[in-house]
A and B are shown apart, each in its own frame.
Chain A
Amino acid sequence: MNFFLEVLIGGLLSGVMYALVALGFVMIYKASGVFNFAQGAMVYLAALSVVGCMEKGAPLWLAIILAFVIMTLFGIATEKFVLRKLVNQPPIALFMATIGLAFFIEGVAPMIFGSEPRALELGIVDEPIPWILDNWNMVISKFDLVAAGVAAVLVATLALFFQYTRIGRALRAVADDHQAALSIGIPLQNIWAIVWGVAGFVALVAGMMWGARNGVQFALTFTALKALPVLILGGFTSVPGAIVGGLIIGASEKLAEIYIPPVMQDLFGGNFGGIEGWFPYVLALLFLLVRPEGLFGEKHIDRV
């Protein structure tokens, strides 16, 4: 039972990390209807810029600010040079453009900051918390807990930003109805630039957490792929959905990784590790058959 709980909690905490990436997707999708495949590449770019600036001698806080500036500029440039030109194209074309954008970033970022894997020191150690280890005999990583805390703060900040600031209200209006927002004088293009800036900020937070945990390397771009089933479970348009979806995916994939291979080994023989690689997708796929719009997504009504 203890072991089960340990796996479950470990899974939930790693799910928080997925949710961090998924949040960036939700931001952009809500405000502009673009499914931004490049979010993973942005996470990579953000983490690389932090590490890159630190290598040039900047202290951590300055590096973070610089990285934020880079991400914002990048977001604005994307909006201006790519998305604005693709207005009125079908969503699939925009999606494919963001795949191109992802490749572009994956090529440019290492050219600027170097491609070798590096460690990112945030001053948090990835070790079990002794108190829990002693009393409950469970290994719960301190780092994971901090990550969960960061995610909670981030979500709260975003919620406040959306609820109580002028820009946040404008963002919600745009997300609701582009046309109506335009007609009451909300500058659509500025809003989109801001959204990309916010998504860049989310990518920065996610990049720092992931980078500190697994090292800043190319594999960071794959975090985006893991965020996709999270989005499907939670619904593309829902911030709480991203969190809940992340928790479900994180917990279920860790449990599956522990409990399914022995069963399959009994049935077929051989080694069946690595279920983590596909389990979230199949789970999301099965879930889609039951609820095509996700847990918290908006119900979609087709009209001819």
Chain B
Amino acid sequence: MLYREAGQFKTTYAADQQIFPIRQDRIGVIALLVVAFIGVPLFASEYWFSAILIPFLIFALAALGLNVLTGYAGQLSLGSAAFMAVGAYAAYNFQLRIEGIPILVSFICAGLTAAGVGILFGLPSLRIKGFYLAVATLAAQFFIVWCLTKFPWLSNNSSSGVISTQRLIIFGHELTTPVEKYLLVLSIVVVMALAAKNMVRSATGRAWMAVRDMDVAASVIGIKLMQTKLLAFAVSSFYCGVAGALYAFCYLGSVEPDGFSLEMSFKILFMIIIGGVGSIMGSFLGAAFILLLPIFLDIALPFFAELFGLPFSSATVSHIQITVFGALIMFFLIVEPHGLARLWQIAKEKLRLWPFPH
């Protein structure tokens, strides 16, 4: 009853084309932002910030990047973690080697560096697609991580490529507490999510979707395949790169190349499968789900173990985690291929009609 667009008339094209055409959605989004920016910092504990909220936002950003590439442009990538690594190391090097560069500028440069690398590894997509491309992105995954380990210049000659990030100084103020870092990450993620949302509704996004649905047909109607695909790779890698820089600077503080493993790439892929392929909001839902599930299992499994008197070792718990992940992936692909975002959509449809069945 509350959620219904009846009576909301659009009198201008601008009003008709806004991001959230329904007033309740707009109110909901603003309320969410208010809660995220003001409510959460007031009430959440330090543990919540540094262990859950910050990684959630960072992985959501990375998933967003992968979703642009896989969900919208239809190019499967198994190398997102490598592009995050590029972002993290690029931001570190910009800070290290350019005197007095503002941290935000180095984040943007890190994103651009990642975008450049992304274009390089996206070049094969002009000739190949599908599984072949997935394997090609594996080349990026292994090659980049190897480079970061083996070229000492990239990690300022530290052993095995470990870097400790510089201090976070914004407008002369140093960010040290988790709350401040959280707010920084949140602001960047909000801006970039908004940009992504607008990008996928624009001509660019429509071109991506046309290429995803059938690239030959898209090129027949005049979409330039090369530009479109490479742009998707660039944008996706930019997002992953910024996510990687935030991962290093705001979350861990010290990273090594091997941390950006294939496993992490898969994790990001799982986020978009469970959250919803081809959905901005799905990236957030998926990231939340994938990050919260292990925490939930860590708490729930010992409880069940005690309940049934089964001895669960920590190895068993991690095996159960992997099993549950795998089973969930298959479950979602079979039952709801469009992920949590689709469930949310269905819920909204139902809400519009509630309390009537039709």
Our count of residue pairs bridging A and B at CB distance below 8 angstroms stands at 126
Q: Are A282 and B333 in contact (CB under 8 A)?
A: no
Q: How many residues of A contact B (CB 8 A)?
A: 48
- List, in ascending order, chain A residues with CB within 8 A of B139's CB: 278, 281-282, 284-285
Contact flags A99-134 to B (C-beta < 8 A → 1, else 0):
111111111101100010000000000000000000
Q: Which of B46-54, B239-247, B313-321, B344-352 faces chain A? A: B313-321
Cα distance, A85 to B291, chains bound together (Å): 28
Q: Which of A96, A106, A228 contacts B322 (CB 8 A)?
A: A106
Q: Which of B128, B143, B323 contacts A103 (CB 8 A)?
A: B323
- Is A82 an interface residue, CB under 8 A from the partner? yes
Q: Are A302 and B142 in contact (CB under 8 A)?
A: no
- Is A289 an interface residue, CB under 8 A from the partner? yes
Contact flags B131-148 to A (C-beta < 8 A → 1, else 0):
110111011001100100
Q: Which of A96, A104, A268, A271 contacts B327 (CB 8 A)?
A: A104
Prevailing SS type, chain A contact patch: helix
Query: From B328, which residue of chain A is reached at the shortest CB distance?
Result: A100
Q: Are A93 and B325 in contact (CB under 8 A)?
A: no
Q: Which of B4-12, B21-29, B192-200, B213-221 faces chain A? A: B213-221
Nearest CB on A from B69, distance (A): 12
Q: Are A103 and B326 in contact (CB under 8 A)?
A: yes
Nearest CB on A from B204, distance (A): 22
Chain B residues touching A, range: 35 or more
Q: Are A111 and B138 in contact (CB under 8 A)?
A: no
Q: Are A270 and B134 in contact (CB under 8 A)?
A: no
- List, in ascending order, chain A residues with CB within 8 A of B325's CB: 100, 103, 107
Contacting residues of chain B (299-358) with chain A, CB-CB under 8 angstroms: 315-316, 319-330, 333-334, 337
- B residues with CB within 8 A of A: 74, 76, 124, 127-128, 130-132, 134-136, 138-139, 142-143, 146, 149-152, 214, 216-217, 220, 262, 266, 269, 273, 315-316, 319-330, 333-334, 337
**In the A-B complex, the 3 residue pairs with the closest CB atoms:** A100-B329, A107-B323, A104-B326
Further pairs besides A91-B131, A278-B139: 19, Cβ < 8 Å:
A92-B74, A95-B134, A96-B269, A96-B273, A97-B333, A103-B325, A104-B330, A106-B322, A107-B319, A107-B326, A108-B319, A111-B320, A229-B135, A271-B150, A281-B143, A285-B124, A288-B132, A288-B136, A289-B127
